[in-house]
Amino acid sequence: MDRQIRLHDRLFELYITEAEIVKAIENVAEKIYNDMDGKNPLFVGILNGAFMFVAELMSKLPPDVELTFAAYSSYHGVKSAGIVQELLPIRSDVRNRPIVLLEDVIDTGLTMQYVTNRLREEGANDVRVATMLLKPGSLKYDFRPDYVGIEIEDDFIVGFGLDYDGLGRNSRNIYKVVNSE
C-alpha cells in the first residue's frame, strides 16, 4: 500500500484505507437494506466519482434491485459555481417509488439538494441520499444525507472514485493533498 502518491503537481498522503472504506460501505448497505426491504427502490449512482462506491455498495445488496446512473455538475475547476447542470438525466420512471441517490462525497450539499427536490417534484414518493463521504464542515445548504459512510474534514481528496484532473480515481485507498508545489 502506497503511503503517498503524486498526481500531476500534487503530493497526496494516505488518509482512509480500503478496509475502512469497505467497512463503512457495508454499514451503509445494511441500513439501506433494512429501510428499503420490500419497497422496490430505484438506486441512482451519481457519475463520475461514485462509480466505485456504487459497485461496492451494490455488491452488498440483493441482486433484484434496480440501478441506473445520472450525472450532475456544480463545479467549474475545483470550486462550486453555485448552479447545478444536469449532464445525464435519470432514464427510469421515478413516479410513485422510492429513490436512493448514491453519491461519492457531499461537501456544500447544493447538488444533492437540487436533485432531491427535483425528484420529489417529478413524483418520487421517497428520496434518500447515501454518500460514501460527508464533509459536514463544508455544508452550505440545509441538507443532510440519510446514509453516511465516513465523515471527513474539508480536505482535497482522491481515490476510490475521486480524482484530481482525471487521475487517482482507480485507487482503492483515499488520499488527501499534502501540498501543491
Catalytic-labelled residue, pool 64, 104, 107, 126: 107
Task: Mark whether 107 is an active-site residue.
Answer: yes
Q: Rounded to whole angstroms, how far apart are CA atoms 88 and 73? A: 10
For cell 497526496, the residue is 12
Q: Rounded to whole angstroms, how far apart are CA atoms 116 and 130? A: 12
Q: Rounded to whole angstroms, how far apart are CA atoms 10 and 154? A: 17
Q: Rounded to whole angstroms, how far apart are CA atoms 110 and 34? A: 28
Which residues are part of the catalytic machinery?
107
